[in-house]
Amino acid sequence: MADLFDLKESGYFYTRLQNPTNDSVASKIAALEGGVACILTSSGQAANFYAIFNICEAGDHFVSASTIYGGTYNLFGVTMKKLGIEVTFVDADADEEEISKAFRPNTKALFGETITNPGVTVLDLEKFARVAHKHGVPFIVDNTFPTPINCRPFDFGADIVTHSTTKYMDGHAAQVGGAIVDSGNFDWDAHADKFPGLTAPDPSYHGLVYSKSFGKGAYITKATVQVMRDLGSIPSPQNSFLLNLGLETLHLRVQRHCENAQKVAEYLSVHPEVAWVDYSGLSTDKYHSLAQRQFRNGQSCGVLAFGIKGGRERSIKFMDNLKLISIVTHVADARSCVLHPASHTHRQLSDEQLIAAGVRPDLIRLSVGIEDIDDILNDIDQAMKSL
């Protein structure tokens, strides 16, 4: 027992620190992403918080794309600020020079989302990786929407990947969970002055140095034995069991989600009531060529965004008219669902912040499920007809 507490032996002695069910699911996600280690958390929020907090403390700073999930935007801009950790939001489409201007001597990470929720814009992973590495910090990317089935960010230079496993990985709204995967590629010792938490002795483990004792496993080990130990956002093993069931069909579901979403996007793109459609699978989409380069078969995910002509009011009427597709907060689920971010998830943001987060006031987020495509299209069709 003493050796376990000193991290000299690895073994199971308390679930908050390690649990065999959680570990077996974590190792599958690490394998899917092509990483060296993974820690599961009780939610995607906890995953993104831990991913940053593991290398940032009061007085530190990090840079993030502004087009990110509303909950993450709030976590970074409001809550982490209270802990003394500052963020600068940048336009993800800006060039490398422009993004570089946001870096300071105390900057410790660069963050983005592979495909943004809810705007479904696509992040240029290689560009972000280059900027991060030029400044000697890791590039952390939330890969929830494409999942490793469609994109493996480590292949494009990302160092750390996070997930809300609540979404496609689970796929059935059966549990809430998160994951952090480390590629093992970032050289903490080469930037030792920036990352003393990983490269200097930890007084809470008799002066152990993570980068020396655990090598490529340093980042996830620290997140486990220090951040998880003290903050405790561990998933219940029962939730990890449920997540595991979802993972077993992930490759089939993602394929079907993408096929259905492509057909819905094509249908909407020529519909007379539709003002605009954002889906990188459309050859006219701004991110189409980037998606072709970064995603397996160019497939992004099952989520798309669009607006109805006549603006906000008619967009809301359209959603109210839907019968099969329900209005829910959740996204990336087997069942098709819609949400109007400006009046739901992002209602705390000002119009200016909405635009910065890539959310137009009339934006409808449509998460296309795995139902029969004719049922989905018929529902959209009848909802359009009764506008």
Ligand X SMILES: *Cc1c(COP(=O)(O)O)cnc(C)c1O
Query: Which residues sit at the interface with ligand X, rule CB under 6 A?
Result: 43-45, 48, 69, 71-72, 113, 117, 142, 144, 164, 166-167, 176, 178
* Closest to ligand X by CB, 113 or 278: 113
* Closest to ligand X by CB, 216 or 365: 365
* Closest to ligand X by CB, 63 or 75: 75
Q: To the nearest whole angstrom, how small is the minimum distance from the Cβ of residue 196 to ligand X? A: 28
Q: To the nearest whole angstrom, how small is the minimum distance from the Cβ of residue 365 to ligand X? A: 10
* Closest to ligand X by CB, 25 or 208: 25
Q: To the nearest whole angstrom, how small is the minimum distance from the Cβ of residue 71 to ligand X? A: 5
Q: To the nearest whole angstrom, how small is the minimum distance from the Cβ of residue 73 to ligand X? A: 10
Q: To the nearest whole angstrom, how small is the minimum distance from the Cβ of residue 74 to ligand X? A: 11
Residue nearest to ligand X (CB): 44
Q: To the nearest whole angstrom, how small is the minimum distance from the Cβ of residue 235 to ligand X? A: 10
* Closest to ligand X by CB, 44 or 153: 44
* Closest to ligand X by CB, 317 or 330: 330
Q: To the nearest whole angstrom, how small is the minimum distance from the Cβ of residue 44 to ligand X? A: 2
* Closest to ligand X by CB, 125 or 176: 176
CA distance 170 to 176: 8
